[in-house]
Structure 1
């Protein structure tokens, strides 16, 4: 029995994210005034783009430039399952600092840099993405698009004092939701320049730095006898599963197993 077409959208933030399945015909030729960046999860996603037929398979990244005509259909009998996000060019420009818009002419890229940069934004629609995590992902996507398309970066001066203000603010608000806008106000540095400076000066992004400091507290609280759920909520994570996902991503092991191993030793 053939599957029915379906689609689900994530709650709207700075980006619009969608996941869908089409068993055959997908959609008529149309244009967006945004970038459409997607990933085929299963099957073959075929579409006409710039007078040619493109075929997206799992492992690649779809990049459709604003105002480019395209359609969509299944390229195989099993249909196609995909996730896609829509991002305004102005948002990419803010992250890039005012350069030529990145352009990926083929519509599909197998470049691993682009695939890696979209990992956070290509999570399931029910996966919560923190505001600062989303800003980090937007920055990474902008840089990857620029690298893949050959856009040259402008040289800019680092502001260490502003980055230190932002880092101090993070330490004072570990149990709160922090946005890049807040770090901008706290540091006196525009958000995207601050995001770039932070990576250069501290070797990681603002969100990654925040997450690591929260996980430091989680480990301390677990060792002092706090439950997994209490440790998660006390340190600014949305819930236990949110904390556990980041814990395993960081340390390669679940928090419960980590604690169990320490107790055994």
Structure 2
């Protein structure tokens, strides 16, 4: 992440909502390392532009467009241009179905950037334009992900699968979009992010999530999510 001194601003959609939103306004949104979210991500571009490296291609979205990134789909955001950028990320935990792939769509007709965020209209647009699938339809990838438990050694997992470490790592990367080590780290970061919405001390969350210390956790968290653990917690309360 390019250090501009700015950061993403996170909040709940409403005080009692489980839907999370993140806002960026000002300089072009900074690039972030490859990562994924446990939730479906919808990125609304209000002004400027956004770009993502995802599924082996670059998706570009201009003002008035919507980027759809399925839950668990690795992606890296790319800094675009020099113009000021205003955008909103919405994170939705979907259980019934997920988009089969990432996509760029037009925002729904009549969309009002200053009005209330109509999640139902956004999802109608997504379901109309993007093929949907049940989460269990990606059985191979799910099985590989489950095989890499937080405390498992990749060599041991590979042996149980009847593969060499190198062959397993290649198969895992093809299926999941990330090497096993990176995938495991991001799983831990997503779980820590969920815990930050509670009241447990940040140092204890870092330790329980398997990070060497709070400083190491903080660096990885900001590199991945564009803000610090302390700031994220404060904004999500």
Structure 1 and Structure 2 fold alike (TM over 0.5): no
Per residue, is there more strand in 1 or in 2?
2
TM-score, with structure 2 as normaliser: 0.38
Per residue, is there more helix in 1 or in 2?
1
Over alpha carbons, which structure has the higher Rg?
1
TM-score, with structure 1 as normaliser: 0.34
Structure with larger RCO (C-alpha < 8 A, sep 6+): 2
